[in-house]
Structure 1
Amino acid sequence: MNPTEINILEEVELDNPIFIEALPGIGHVGKLAADHMIDELEATKFAEIYSYYYPPQVFIGEDGIIKNMINELYYLKDIGEDNIDLIILVGNTQGLSPEGQFELCSETLEFVKGYGVSKIFTLGGMATGQQTSENPKVYGAATCEENIESLKEAEIEIRSNDGGIVGASGLFLGLGMRQGIHGSCLMGETPGFFIDAEAARAILEKLAILLNIEVNTDKLEERAEETREMLIKAQQMEQDILNKAAGNDRDDLRYIG
């Protein structure tokens, strides 16, 4: 196979869609928010992404059925008051190495550019190392002043002079910015020790404001319970591989989103 293969399941025409990335990361905050959004708004999967840059493993579900390491693309058409189109990237893994991250993000961005993507939002968690909060803050960063002002209007706290955004959530913004596609990252405050439904709810509510859409979050905790065991197992398997490959050096791939 090629290093990265994108399997198109449905041909679709979209009108300047907004691209949303929400791959697994700290607290699985972004993934949980996007998975809920996909279910609640009944998004349609139209492409699957396979790559040998994923961890060399498969995942075994409770029923014994094997699932591949995979990223998936969903679309929504004419939603919200502004009738916008969305492309949402979710999955059960990110690239295993820095080279893999660049390959996957570059290939995926080139693919969604073909649909006329006009803006990027990346979703993730920001680890505090502290106990959970009932009302977690949402932090933001953006590629241009105009997007910073939009974040401020949504009462998102701007993160500044505080490290970087590692992994897909950072790379998509950086690669997009070089090609004239601007965007923002939303980061939900989370302890980082568990799948955090409250942080996911917080960023989803802010994203809904920014997109001018409505998303019911009542079932978000239920979804968190359903996916918690699966994601923890997958994360542990990936961490075991990283530990063996890097001599227990965990600093290289600490994903914010």
Structure 2
Amino acid sequence: MKGSVKILARPKLKDPYMLAAWPGIANVALIVGTFLAHKLNPKPLAEVIAPYFFDPIGVLVQNNLVESPQFPESRFFYWKNKPGKRDLILFIGDDQPQNKTYELAHSVIDVAERFGVKRLYTCAAALTRIHHSEQPKVWGAATQPALLEEIKQYDLVLGGDLQISGLNGLLLGVAKDRRLDAMCLLGEVPHYASRFPNPTAALAITEVLLKMLDVDVELDELKEQAVEASSRLKEMAAEAMGDYIDYFTEPIWESGGEYGDEEEDDEAGSQN
């Protein structure tokens, strides 16, 4: 962690859990992380030294003046729960670096160990054949067999063999190597909508996650986002289906023949 993370506060936390989130498929993890950060209003804890992991590819020019290079932010926050309950650390990364992802994962675990984190959570999308109008299920994966029993208590889907890409997955493997219990909650997302932000899947994950974290948060805002996103996806699907029909069908008057002639030929043929 030396040289890669700057500690901003040193609070005394009670057996905290940590949730880490980066952008990924359907932006599921980042939607969950930013929503909780918005609702809980946590305090700054630490920040990743961005130039250590990111290389800017250009600069912005405003009114002919060159601005300083901009870097993605990767920040830790802490939130104190009610007395007697576990506290929470949130890590939110605006972007995933092209290189040093393994080193960044270790830096996140360094912070977790420093503040006594007892369990780490990540989120991701589970690409399935679900239709966008269906209620997504939540899948679970864990670093220890004992955690799988807890997953079963929440009626999560155990998907067997799967791959969790990017840092939302890699962090779990690093946590396992460093003997920190970790779990991933994956919300079902349609294959054909993997590039579309999916707050519906994020909502399904958040509902389970809040129970696991023992945190009370109103979900109305996220529910509204889910309804709006579902409506937009429905409109997009209708437009795509219209384009599909237009492309693969041909009006009879464009087929090169006369409809009336074909009817007469058929009638003549039936009389023979």
TM-score (norm 2): 0.71
Give the corresponding residue for 1:87. Answer: 89
Larger helix percent? 2
1:36–1:223 Cα contact (<8 Å) kept: no
Query: Given the superposition, is the C-alpha separation of residues 133 and 214 from structure 1 closer, same or farther in structure 2, using an over 3 Å criterion?
Result: farther
Structure 1 segment 1-257 matched on structure 2, within 5 A: 5-49=4-48, 50-54=50-54, 56-57=56-57, 68-79=71-82, 83-97=85-99, 100-128=100-128, 131-161=131-161, 163-191=162-190, 192-220=194-222
CA-based RMSD = 2.9
In the superposition, relative to structure 1, how do residues 55 and 29 fare at CA in structure 2: closer, same or farther (>3 Å)? farther
Residues 29 and 199, structure 1, Cα contact 8 Å, conserved in 2: yes
User: Is residue 56–residue 71 contact of structure 2 (8 Å, CA) maintained in 1?
Assistant: no
Q: Whole-Å Cα distance in 2 between the matches of residues 223 and 46 of structure 1?
A: 28
Structure ranking higher on relative contact order (CA contacts 8 Å, 6+ apart): 1
Instruction: Flag the structure with larger Rg.
Output: 2
Structure 2 unaligned spans of 5+: 61-66, 228-272
Q: Distance in 2 between matches of 1:122 and 1:204?
A: 11
Q: Whose strand proportion is higher, 1 or 2?
A: 1
Separation in structure 1 between the aligned mates of residue 107 and residue 8 of structure 2, nearest angstrom: 17
Q: What letter corresponds to residue 45 of structure 2 in structure 1?
A: F
Question: How does the TM-score come out when normalised to structure 1?
Answer: 0.75
Give the direction of change, closer, same or farther, for the CA distance of 1:190–1:11 in structure 2 (3 Å limit): same
Unaligned runs of 5+ in 1: 226-257
CA distance in 2, matches of 1:82, 1:122: 24
CA contact (8 A) 2:130 2:136 kept: no
**For residues 147-183 of structure 1, what are the alpha-carbon distances to aligned partners after superposition, in whole Å with 9 as ceiling and x for unaligned?**
111111111111212x322222222221112222111
* Paired positions, count: 218
Q: Contact between 1:59 and 1:68, CA under 8 Å: does it hold in 2? A: no
